[in-house]
Structure 1
């Protein structure tokens, strides 16, 4: 663990790792959301219908749910340096495919594959946790998440300008292709400028590959239960693509998809059994145990925080346009205030967590999140526009601050499994987005905000069961010696 001073303006040692990691995350989000600000130009260029545009938006998040789990496991096994570099390089390929697409089918396949780059976030969580001590970890993870997450807003502001600069009907293609080139180039920059751990430190890998380890019988069943919502969210996406939704899938294809999801769930359950069957015959020593309820609580909280952020960012421009009779450009600018809060709110949530405690910070921010969304549910055309914007920004602070506080805890549960834990928690954020956007398709805006507030209350109640991280994580080196990793502030 690096002991140098935390200096945000430095670019050496651990600070170099932090800056290069948030830049990598920033680029993944630019690529992941590079289509959003250019949809109108694309639709005109290759003849997309409104239904096909909605389908592309769904496909963009579909693969990210399983991808975050898979990437988390791969990161723990092979290290964040190799995995982040490979992800940036490999995902430039579907980005170029999307830029050269001539019809909906080609665009749909490329967009589906690009959902994988949304898993990049979990890689940096493990990288940052290797370089920063517990008393700085929340701040560092918050900066990584907040500044990297801003890539989606940067794409919204910059890519239309780039497309106009190139000009012509193909301007959008050059803009999207440029993001692919950026991803490919930074893959090499990242690989040759970072290391998985500070010099002399050990990179701990999971004992087993294929499923998350648990340390008690009860946690075995708890893990299987917590896997179900991820498969249910994928089933929900299939339903939205079925004849009952945007009609991309036929009825028979949809049924096959459901069957495949059931088979995959039971296959994963068999892998969980294979990795953890020993807990039914041999008691895990106390010093090697961890409580899976810690992971479950963080999953629920990220469902409510990042899940709501993804959903609200998608609908907020339309909400302001319809509620206050604004033109699309002005509505987009007003709604961008919500996303801009990421630059300070997420690092702020991590910073407060470092100083005031993990659980107290999460309790306060989750309560604020519930109140904030309840307030958003009250916004109407009778409100002054400025007051509605203030309400959205205040709500955004608690949402993104909560995200920072969640990932101030994730690396403090079990070091060798940080990637897997981050992957599962991150996947729950996408599950939340799918659920909330599905709810929005059935209810009005006010009810939508109240539903999010209600899930935040559920998260607050679940949070009462979480334990404040303290003491040490015990990990065993390859030579059999024991290392104690401090997790107290």
Structure 2
């Protein structure tokens, strides 16, 4: 761990942990998106209506926002080894439910529950941060995120082929069930193959669990404010299921809205209970961290990953309608936006390691402003090759931005890394839902301009960010204080 060079071809020490962990993330994404490339076969097999297909797509992300918060807390409390293993094993169950479903209700239940496996990303952020020093952390987290995130593309490439190999009307069932079996088997492999920390290192846990701890009254208020968009996103999902596809009635939508308001109130009360002491007896300066760092990273991931989710979803239709392409050609060209994540997410982390977290985030966020503004000007008069180049250039900043955000997340407060990663990750899903909702209301050009405008807001917020310097302090179970280098 003393070397500045990260040898990806090694399977020893911390690199071994990195490979095992990104593979766990990869498998969770294959399972999470195992339905997408098979939707046509599933729809024909069970005679689904277009509205039911749309409902399955919505349900697939419904649980992911709260799940990332919950999984972050569990990771900090019980460690990434146990949490990842249990998530993989538990995530196999809804895969089997979905594969065996013979009605829309059963499909919907499996899809809804599978949203939880989408929270696996959060666990690996903590695991990688335990095994790599600050000077390598951005690259390591970028490799973890980029390689793991490719699981969704791998599902799209391999699962239709597997369904054809199995053959018959039930080919899709065998393909989906296989992803569940792989997740279940790997849960045992992962548990037997990793440890939470290197030998001799301490795994620092938060003193209290149930809500994120902050270290000042102002941070407490900011934390409560930053929770609101996550609850609002769940309310928006409810509205989509009610008014958009009619899966639930207006009465039950109203019940869910009231339940969300009650949950927020209970969440605020629990957060106050955890942080009561900061109003009367704040921690010593050495133990404080600034929650504004988390808030800014929330916003940046909302923009970077949120726009990635939205743009990947709409690009095939955008190409088809703008340049009058057939669906296959449009899909292939749209794939260029997603494929660069393998390289650019690690590169975003590497640049952060070499030239600083804040400068990197400022550059990539400004690139997002200019990139999405450029995309807003694309129309049928553009040469197709030039439009593809503009989209790929914008994609470079998008994926580098996601890598740069998580190059900084683990350097704020080690014992809370799971919760911080969970909140930042959840904001990415909130961003995707927000941008897709905007897309349903406006033209493509206005959609890209809205993303550019929020990126400009993100650039301004990044000016408030502070570059990690010196050390962060953590208290061991025996009461001793350990200083962890973050420079």
TM over 0.5, shorter chain: yes
Partner of 2:107: 107
The secondary structure found in structure 1 opposite 2:244 is coil
Q: 1:218-258 CA deviation, whole Å, 9 max, x = no partner?
A: 0010100000000000000000111x211111010000000
Q: Following TM superposition, by how much is the alpha carbon of 1:337 offset from its aligned partner in structure 2, in angstroms?
A: 0.8
Partner of 2:71: 71
Residues in 2 aligned to 1:374 and 1:100: alpha-carbon distance in whole angstroms: 46
Alignment of 1:434-449 (within 5 A): 434-449=433-448
The secondary structure found in structure 2 opposite 1:475 is strand
Residues in 1 aligned to 2:389 and 2:189: alpha-carbon distance in whole angstroms: 40
Partner of 2:15: 15
Residues in 2 aligned to 1:389 and 1:163: alpha-carbon distance in whole angstroms: 31
The secondary structure found in structure 2 opposite 1:233 is helix
The secondary structure found in structure 2 opposite 1:6 is coil
Alignment of 1:273-312 (within 5 A): 273-312=272-311
Is 1:98 equivalent to 2:91 in the alignment?
no
The secondary structure found in structure 2 opposite 1:468 is coil
Partner of 1:124: 124
Residues in 2 aligned to 1:13 and 1:451: alpha-carbon distance in whole angstroms: 45
Q: CA RMSD for the aligned pairs?
A: 0.8
Q: Following TM superposition, by how much is the alpha carbon of 1:110 offset from its aligned partner in structure 2, in angstroms?
A: 0.6
Partner of 1:351: 350
Partner of 1:209: 209
Partner of 2:82: 82
Farther-moved stretch of structure 1 (129-138 vs 435-444): 435-444
Residues in 1 aligned to 2:66 and 2:112: alpha-carbon distance in whole angstroms: 12
**C-alpha contact 1:26 1:151 (8 A) present in aligned 2:** yes
**C-alpha contact 1:47 1:103 (8 A) present in aligned 2:** no
Q: Following TM superposition, by how much is the alpha carbon of 1:370 offset from its aligned partner in structure 2, in angstroms?
A: 1.3
Residues in 1 aligned to 2:215 and 2:272: alpha-carbon distance in whole angstroms: 12
Alignment of 1:73-472 (within 5 A): 73-242=73-242, 244-472=243-471
Is 1:484 equivalent to 2:478 in the alignment?
no
Q: 1:136-178 CA deviation, whole Å, 9 max, x = no partner?
A: 0000000000110011111111111111111211111111111
Q: 1:175-216 CA deviation, whole Å, 9 max, x = no partner?
A: 111111111111111111110000000000001100000000
Farther-moved stretch of structure 1 (383-392 vs 348-357): 383-392
Residues in 2 aligned to 1:442 and 1:158: alpha-carbon distance in whole angstroms: 34
The secondary structure found in structure 1 opposite 2:276 is helix
Q: Following TM superposition, by how much is the alpha carbon of 1:387 offset from its aligned partner in structure 2, in angstroms?
A: 1.4
Residues in 2 aligned to 1:84 and 1:47: alpha-carbon distance in whole angstroms: 36
The secondary structure found in structure 2 opposite 1:91 is helix
Residues in 1 aligned to 2:89 and 2:167: alpha-carbon distance in whole angstroms: 27
Residues in 2 aligned to 1:325 and 1:202: alpha-carbon distance in whole angstroms: 59
Residues in 2 aligned to 1:354 and 1:455: alpha-carbon distance in whole angstroms: 26
The secondary structure found in structure 1 opposite 2:193 is coil
Farther-moved stretch of structure 1 (3-12 vs 277-286): 3-12
Structure 2 stretches lacking a partner, 5+ long: none
TM-score (norm 2): 0.99
Q: 1:286-305 CA deviation, whole Å, 9 max, x = no partner?
A: 00000000000000000001
The secondary structure found in structure 1 opposite 2:229 is helix
Partner of 1:53: 53
Residues in 1 aligned to 2:152 and 2:172: alpha-carbon distance in whole angstroms: 16
Structure 1 stretches lacking a partner, 5+ long: none
Residues in 2 aligned to 1:104 and 1:317: alpha-carbon distance in whole angstroms: 27
Q: Following TM superposition, by how much is the alpha carbon of 1:420 offset from its aligned partner in structure 2, in angstroms?
A: 0.3
Residues in 1 aligned to 2:314 and 2:45: alpha-carbon distance in whole angstroms: 24
Q: Following TM superposition, by how much is the alpha carbon of 1:108 offset from its aligned partner in structure 2, in angstroms?
A: 0.7
**C-alpha contact 1:45 1:169 (8 A) present in aligned 2:** yes
Residues in 2 aligned to 1:105 and 1:189: alpha-carbon distance in whole angstroms: 33
TM-score (norm 1): 0.98
Q: Following TM superposition, by how much is the alpha carbon of 1:92 offset from its aligned partner in structure 2, in angstroms?
A: 0.3
Partner of 1:39: 39
Residues in 2 aligned to 1:277 and 1:64: alpha-carbon distance in whole angstroms: 29
Q: Following TM superposition, by how much is the alpha carbon of 1:283 offset from its aligned partner in structure 2, in angstroms?
A: 2.4
Residues in 2 aligned to 1:94 and 1:3: alpha-carbon distance in whole angstroms: 42
Residues in 1 aligned to 2:381 and 2:33: alpha-carbon distance in whole angstroms: 33
Q: Following TM superposition, by how much is the alpha carbon of 1:327 offset from its aligned partner in structure 2, in angstroms?
A: 1.5
